[in-house]
Structure 1
Amino acid sequence: MISIKRINRILLTVLPAFAFFVTHASAATPFISLKGRVADPEIQQMPGGKTRLYAIVSECPFNGMILSGSANFKSKMIELKVGFNEPFTMMIPLLARRMYMILRYEDNLLGRKWVNDNNNVYILENGDDLRCVLSKNDIRFTGKGSARLNCQTDLHQAKFILKDRTTLFNAGQFSAIYSKQKKGIDSAIKVQKAVINRYRSRIGREMADILTANIYGLAYNSFLAGVRMTGSVEEYSAFLASELYNDIRNFKGPVLPQSILAAAPLYTDFLFERELTLTRLFDGMQLEANAEPRHIAAVYNRIKSGYSGVIRDKLLASFFLYWKTRPSITSFLEEGLSLAGQDRYRLVLINISEQLRVGADFFPFELEDTQGKLVRLSDLSEKLLIVDFWYTGCPGCANLKRAMAGVWQTYKDHPGVRFVSISIDKDREQWKRSVQTHEYTEPEAVNLYTGGAGKNHPVIKSLQIGAYPKMFIVKDGKVFSANPPWPSGPDTSTGTTREFIQLMQKGLQ
């Protein structure tokens, strides 16, 4: 099991390394230039004769819905107001060597209809220098890197849409819906593979493989979302009896490295939609509603046991991003954090964990100190608390204590701050001896004991702590930070120790 130490250490090792790459890459090419115009005459009817044009770029390969609706990973929005055929220039900041972009504009007076759907995510690369023309049904590029983006436009335009679906649905011809859908998807995939072959020499083998994986998302995502959201027992029964259902259930995927599959923004979205669809309970008469706690748990367990490596990491990120507003997902967060291996996706989970817990009531503990005195959370309600959980023999707990040296020296005598150190040791005397060794905690801190209950104590279960050490900052009895940065040592002027102190200063305001 991965410890919270390793999770927080990302802030020390991964992010500085990534910042180093961006800084040095940016010295040569700080931006990707995107110039163009919107050639849609309808925007002349909008207020002021202008439309809202925006691009969202991210280092994370997700679909447009996630890119446009989440602040849980590094992303940037660039927004402009442009008129019909008016030249524009977007300077897109270089967030990574490879980035993912959605590019949209409003095309009606209400400003609610956007050209370019959530499955049309463009892949940008460092060094691109692009020009484009946007219209209602097309985006065309010229310049360096344009072949890659035009290939993606062609792939998107070749996806299958069942145009008479509503007519067939109203007529109750559900089997015909899935028969036509299968034929259309199979045909579209063949066309899309031919498109990739046409561009292969210009985009290179790696990008051709990424886009090959991506076509399965283009083929199935919107279709599966519709199946998943249906409330019709008859329609769902027809789906389960169809050849298309068997194709999806038995899908093996292209034989490509996981790094390639994960770099395709829509491939793992298809896998996620597949799990959402296949885990719904249906007894032939009653169809389970989406997002029931049992359904959420079933999806999580299939991801946990059915996948591995970076594909599982990305699916876990998708799971928590998709259901981040559902209270039941908190029971999976600690384990999800321990399973996530790749830094960019683990950081997504850390951010969600922080957002879900901040502002929540901290567990109202009543625990004994080393003198046998009962200490309550309410006794400390007017203090800003640094609360950590540890046990004797925990190497990470000892490392955290050493890393906290600068924070301890800064706040040990501060009247508004208390250090609260809670042990899950089962042996009371062992706990008291460990307190005196200074190895895991400072004897002058408020040292508390869970009464021998260990991991089964209500405070541990309520906070869903699954790995140690675990640290919180608590203000006015509520969680102020659920994942404060792992301090970098005694120097309070640099690194994550400085970040920790800045967070504390904010809490003291």
Structure 2
Amino acid sequence: MKGLFLKTQIYLVFCLLIGASRSHGTEKAALETKLSATIEIVVKDTAILNEGEMEIKLYQNGINTTFTLQTKLITIKLNKPTTKIVIPLSTSINYGTIDLTYKNQSKIYEKRLFYVSNNTFIFENGDHIEVMLDQNKVQFSGKGSEKFNCLYEASKHQDIQQSQFKQIGKYRREKKYSEFFAYSKQVQDSLYNLKGQIVDKYAKSISRAVSDLIRTDIWAIYNSKIIETMFGNTTRFGTRYGEDHMNAVETAYQDYLENYQSDLFPDQILLESLRYCDALYWREYYAEQVLNRKNTVDPFTFRTGMIDKSYNGAIREKVHYLNSLARGKISEKMLDTYQEKKNTVINSKYQLAMRDLIKANTGKAFPFELKDSKGITRKLTDFRNKLIVMDFWYTGCINCVEQAKVLLPIIEGYKNNDKIVFVSISIDGSKNKQIWLKSIEKGIYTGKDEINLIAEGKNDELIKHYNIQGYPKLILISAEGNVITTNPPDPREEPLEFKALIDANI
């Protein structure tokens, strides 16, 4: 019996070891399993063939927001009637956008099938979507296509009707601001309800998680439109419609807050939504301009305080992150909390993202390699031991022209100083190289005393690293290769402060 018991023990241990080994192997295999979706593009419109390309951008950093440039770009040449491609996903439910581009740029507007308002979709692991492109028409079919059809159909109801637009304008001209706000909200209510009915129609064919995300995004768009209506024509310095309008805005905003509803879904859905926290950020952004209208507190600091008071937990962390991401600024509190030397305990991806953002805005500069106007590759290290002022712009940017009017005379004043270099970086991209070169010749965007470089559009790693959302954009790099600031004083508004910052770092 004793021998049998011993054999039984050995057998059980052996089974446990084998089981553990198999379990470990299964877990390892699961971890190594790549998430993906298959996209099959069927082109019915021959005008698209050979001229068109489909661009799919997938959000990559695990923090869904329209502010991030951290996307994976997949370009598909449409040179045959049917093209199939497997796209890698970073999460089992992955937001992404779809666009069509053409070699002949004028065709973008002739054959515009996707717009900013209708090109955002949700990809799931295992999807097999057929995208049929015909003249002025897109159709989705296959496994997982119902959510695509749902989003595409709902996006058709973004804008108000012409008659409604006229009525809104009439109330505004007559200075009937209470009626203006009430009617505008009524219009948005009807659009919100209509989109909700569309989601209801597709709900049984869509997973619960995706359905909740779509509803949350629709709610966020609805609230953003209301906020935009209230604050769209105001600044902290006043409104073009006068003080009565500003007072009406404050009243409307208080009414909005009293009826504000945010507990539609669990926090996890709200956090994973692409637009929910974006809408919260815009609410604080616009509200600051009215509530802090006398500019008694620095706008960014005021907004940071509002976020602290209005939200809790991970929602607050994400909105703080978006506030810094969108404005290119880091509050002193965030710097003090999340700088690596503080060894702060990081327990959420939003805190980790904030730390990464601080690194990008305060640490070592991104080691770029870009072509200059003569085709020579220029590197960050080429400008070692010099203060670097990087000026980002693109052809057609009116604000870039306005900044250049102020910046070029400042650059002229430093042309004999070998301790500073001005680097002009256009995002026109190599496809538009000739346009870029002509813009340099015009001298309205950049000057002869600047080093002119070209980046590959918004998807260039340099642009994505600094998450540049708007143009023009200035970044200062120290002689040691460290980021001094990604948000210097605007030379158009504060030329003396901008010049003082340069002088302090030479």
* Structure 2 match to 1:398: none
User: Structure 1 CA distance, aligned partners of 2:120 and 2:146?
Assistant: 15
User: Structure 1 CA distance, aligned partners of 2:149 and 2:75?
Assistant: 22
Asked if the contact 1:54/1:79 (under 8 Å) is kept, the reply is yes
* Structure 1 match to 2:311: 307
One-letter amino acid of the counterpart of residue 193, structure 1? G
User: Structure 1 CA distance, aligned partners of 2:138 and 2:327?
Assistant: 32
Aligned with 2:241 (options 189, 209, 234): 234
User: Structure 1 CA distance, aligned partners of 2:84 and 2:294?
Assistant: 49
CA RMSD of aligned residues (A): 4.3
* Structure 2 match to 1:77: 73
CA shift digits 1:410-433 (9 cap, x unpaired): xxxxxxxxxxxxxxxxxxxxxxxx
Shift of 1:56: 1.0
User: Structure 2 CA distance, aligned partners of 1:162 and 1:22?
Assistant: 54
One-letter amino acid of the counterpart of residue 82, structure 1? L
* Structure 2 match to 1:9: none
Aligned with 1:34 (options 39, 46, 63): 39
Asked if the contact 2:93/2:123 (under 8 Å) is kept, the reply is yes
CA shift digits 1:181-222 (9 cap, x unpaired): 211211122222222222222223333222222211222335
CA shift digits 1:40-73 (9 cap, x unpaired): 78x65xxx96134211112435344x24xx23xx
User: Structure 2 CA distance, aligned partners of 1:140 and 1:34?
Assistant: 13
Asked if the contact 2:65/2:275 (under 8 Å) is kept, the reply is yes
* 1:61 to 1:356, Cα distance in 2 relative to 1, 3 A: closer
Asked if the contact 1:156/1:218 (under 8 Å) is kept, the reply is no
Q: Could you list the runs of 5+ residues in structure 1 that have no partner in the other structure?
A: 1-19, 361-380, 383-474, 483-509
One-letter amino acid of the counterpart of residue 300, structure 1? T
* 1:269 to 1:135, Cα distance in 2 relative to 1, 3 A: farther
CA shift digits 1:399-456 (9 cap, x unpaired): xxxxxxxxxxxxxxxxxxxxxxxxxxxxxxxxxxxxxxxxxxxxxxxxxxxxxxxxxx
Asked if the contact 1:63/1:118 (under 8 Å) is kept, the reply is no
Write the mapping of 1:254-403 to structure 2, written as runs, cut at 5 A. Answer: 254-281=263-290, 294-324=298-328, 326=329, 329=331, 332-335=334-337, 343-359=348-364
Shift of 1:261: 1.2
* 1:259 to 1:356, Cα distance in 2 relative to 1, 3 A: same
Q: TM-score, normalised by structure 2?
A: 0.55
For the residue of structure 2 that corresponds to 1:34, the secondary structure is strand
Asked if the contact 2:185/2:226 (under 8 Å) is kept, the reply is no
* Structure 2 match to 1:133: 132
Asked if the contact 2:63/2:350 (under 8 Å) is kept, the reply is no
* 1:255 to 1:282, Cα distance in 2 relative to 1, 3 A: closer
Matched, 1:152 2:161: no
Asked if the contact 2:56/2:75 (under 8 Å) is kept, the reply is yes
One-letter amino acid of the counterpart of residue 344, structure 1? K
One-letter amino acid of the counterpart of residue 206, structure 1? A
* Structure 2 match to 1:58: 59
User: Structure 1 CA distance, aligned partners of 2:135 and 2:226?
Assistant: 22
Bigger mean CA deviation after superposition, 199-208 or 265-274 = 199-208
User: Structure 2 CA distance, aligned partners of 1:184 and 1:336?
Assistant: 43
User: Structure 2 CA distance, aligned partners of 1:249 and 1:39?
Assistant: 51
* Structure 2 match to 1:96: 91
* 1:95 to 1:276, Cα distance in 2 relative to 1, 3 A: same
User: Structure 2 CA distance, aligned partners of 1:263 and 1:299?
Assistant: 23
Aligned with 1:184 (options 169, 172, 187): 187
* 1:344 to 1:187, Cα distance in 2 relative to 1, 3 A: same
Aligned residues between the structures: 334
* 1:23 to 1:96, Cα distance in 2 relative to 1, 3 A: farther
User: Structure 1 CA distance, aligned partners of 2:26 and 2:152?
Assistant: 30
For the residue of structure 2 that corresponds to 1:184, the secondary structure is helix
* 1:476 to 1:32, Cα distance in 2 relative to 1, 3 A: same
Shift of 1:332: 3.5
One-letter amino acid of the counterpart of residue 95, structure 1? S
Shift of 1:481: 12
* Structure 1 match to 2:368: none
User: Structure 2 CA distance, aligned partners of 1:268 and 1:358?
Assistant: 27
Asked if the contact 2:346/2:352 (under 8 Å) is kept, the reply is no
* Structure 2 match to 1:200: 203
Q: TM-score, normalised by structure 1?
A: 0.55
Q: Could you list the runs of 5+ residues in structure 2 that have no partner in the other structure?
A: 1-24, 366-383, 386-477, 486-506
Write the mapping of 1:401-416 to structure 2, written as runs, cut at 5 A. Answer: none
User: Structure 2 CA distance, aligned partners of 1:55 and 1:259?
Assistant: 26
User: Structure 2 CA distance, aligned partners of 1:305 and 1:39?
Assistant: 54
Higher RCO (Cα < 8 Å, 6 or more apart): 1
* 1:341 to 1:315, Cα distance in 2 relative to 1, 3 A: farther
User: Structure 1 CA distance, aligned partners of 2:222 and 2:190?
Assistant: 10
User: Structure 2 CA distance, aligned partners of 1:278 and 1:153?
Assistant: 31
